[in-house]
Structure 1
Amino acid sequence: MSQHQQNYHQNLNLWAIIPAAGSGSRFSKTELKQYQMIADQTVLEHTIARLNQLPLMGYVLAIGEQDNVAKTLRFAQAEKSHFCLGGAERVNSVLNALNYLSEIAHDDDWVLVHDAARPCVSKENLEDLVETSLCSQQSAILAIPVRDTLKRVENSSQISVTVDRSTLWQAQTPQMAKLGVLKKAIETALAENVTITDEASALEYIGESVQVVQGRSDNIKITYPDDLELARLILASQSN
């Protein structure tokens, strides 16, 4: 960490939210992706360990009502762990966690929202994201420029148009905002029946500026079974 980053981190009230209540049906009908094993730890334990490379005040896991695994795991800095009930969709889980945090944190505290099944995010990217938000006092997300040619397919398997990718970025997590601002954004969007695909989309809806911080392509989200083996390879490579 640079001296510049250390100066910003000294007075930083930073929390993390990990929505982990989803069914993950694209991965498996019966198994949750965040509890798959990589090198003697679950995916979720790896994810929490990465987030704890930052000076977090604490982290909140939004878990399902029937989840009897999360609270038994050996999380990094377990004394900072908090749990709340997740919701029907990811956005509902995030809002539940924000409501939980509102009881123990301040509206001006910063919050990182990170996917439970994204265990490969680098310390460098995490620090770049935090510094960008703190320097600008604006929300920010990790993202990478779209590399491949994109096709719009509207009817069957026929291509209707090639999409210009020059201004397109693929959103990742974490996504960072002030607690009060993000809570207001999500509540407003839900009340007005706006589709929320990530935290940035809610912030955009209420007119909040959101900056993009270039991430890395190895910050993958485990969505399908073959992603698990890729995550194993990435984590092994990063550890070397």
Structure 2
Amino acid sequence: MKTVQELQQQMHHKVWAVIPAAGSGSRFSKTELKQYQMIQGQTVLQHTVSRLNDLPLSGYVLAISEDDSVARTLNLTQPDKAHFCLGGAERVNSVLNALTYLSQIASPEDLVFVHDAARPCVSSNCLNRLVNTAIQENCSAILAIPVRDTLKFVEQDYNIDKTVSRDYLWQAQTPQISRLGILKSAIEQALQNGVNITDEASALEYVGETVKVVQSRSDNIKITYADDLELAKLILSSQK
């Protein structure tokens, strides 16, 4: 597998990152933001940005809330490549704001991947395989893992209606990568038509864009609940 830098040099691609970090994270805490929790002396967001900078990024855009007084003060890796923009009401709005900002400094043909601010454990190998897939196959792609457990379709009163086949089911993760122009247009069209956008791939699917799955790892967790933070601490320690 070629390195991302070799592929970029060969095919003249630039790679950018977008990190939506304006959410309230209410499932984690009513008062504390999960991206600013501490692990090994750094915030979750710092760990996330550091992982992304294992790639030769041209830059990364953090979409933050208007009242965020922390993000710009952090000692982020590759600070000269850091850009900030105002986030939106929902994650998809933050992503679109960041893509709009990026459109002023990047080409529509450049690759951009979107990664959750509270997903600090993604491995360098997964990142490289994701970008390799996007460049070599000229497609959009996401990290995902096959569903492992038996799935049940449950009715409103918690009665099981049926068992759902997991043969073709994958659990989507981030990063999710696409060309800047394609992704921005897909999200704009989906929002204009009232489509529910849960991740970047759902917008790309809506406009008929092919999206490849790149198998990821189960330790690429997203910190959603308070106990996820303890798991992330263990994962980062083991990876170190």
Q: TM-score, with normalisation over the residues of structure 2?
A: 0.98
Kindly report structure 1 stretches of 4+ aligned residues shifted beyond 6 Å. none
Taking the aligned partners of 2:73 and 2:4, their CA distance within structure 1 comes to 34
Q: Which residue of 2 aligns with 1:76?
A: 77
Q: Which residue of 1 aligns with 2:200?
A: 199
What SS class does the counterpart of residue 155 from structure 1 fall into? coil
Q: Which residue of 2 aligns with 1:118?
A: 119
Taking the aligned partners of 1:170 and 1:225, their CA distance within structure 2 comes to 21
Q: Which residue of 1 aligns with 2:14?
A: 13
Q: Which residue of 2 aligns with 1:55?
A: 56
- Residue by residue over 1:104-131, the C-alpha shift from the partner in whole angstroms, topping out at 9 and shown as x without a partner, is 1110010010000000000000000000
Q: Which residue of 2 aligns with 1:144?
A: 145
Taking the aligned partners of 1:3 and 1:49, their CA distance within structure 2 comes to 21
Is residue 86 from structure 1 mapped to residue 87 from structure 2 by the alignment? yes
Q: Which residue of 1 aligns with 2:24?
A: 23
Taking the aligned partners of 2:13 and 2:56, their CA distance within structure 1 comes to 8
Contact 2:19 / 2:63 at 8 angstroms: preserved in 1?
yes
Contact 1:63 / 1:85 at 8 angstroms: preserved in 2?
yes
- Residue by residue over 1:13-72, the C-alpha shift from the partner in whole angstroms, topping out at 9 and shown as x without a partner, is 010000000000000000000000000000000000000000000000000011000000
Taking the aligned partners of 2:2 and 2:63, their CA distance within structure 1 comes to 34
Residue 161 (structure 1) shift: 1.0
Is residue 159 from structure 1 mapped to residue 170 from structure 2 by the alignment? no
Contact 1:9 / 1:55 at 8 angstroms: preserved in 2?
no
The verdict on how the C-alpha distance between 1:209 and 1:3 changes in structure 2, with shifts beyond 3 A counting, is closer
Contact 2:16 / 2:60 at 8 angstroms: preserved in 1?
yes
Q: Which residue of 1 aligns with 2:110?
A: 109
Taking the aligned partners of 2:4 and 2:86, their CA distance within structure 1 comes to 34
Residue 154 (structure 1) shift: 2.0
Is residue 33 from structure 1 mapped to residue 34 from structure 2 by the alignment? yes
Q: TM-score, with normalisation over the residues of structure 1?
A: 0.98
- Residue by residue over 1:166-206, the C-alpha shift from the partner in whole angstroms, topping out at 9 and shown as x without a partner, is 10000000000000000000000000000000000000000
Of 170-179 and 146-155, deviating more is 146-155
Taking the aligned partners of 1:30 and 1:199, their CA distance within structure 2 comes to 28
Residue 9 (structure 1) shift: 2.9
> Aligned AA for 1:21?
A
The verdict on how the C-alpha distance between 1:151 and 1:173 changes in structure 2, with shifts beyond 3 A counting, is same
**Residue pairs, 1:124-135, within 5 angstroms:** 124-135=125-136
State the identity %: 68
Aligned length: 238
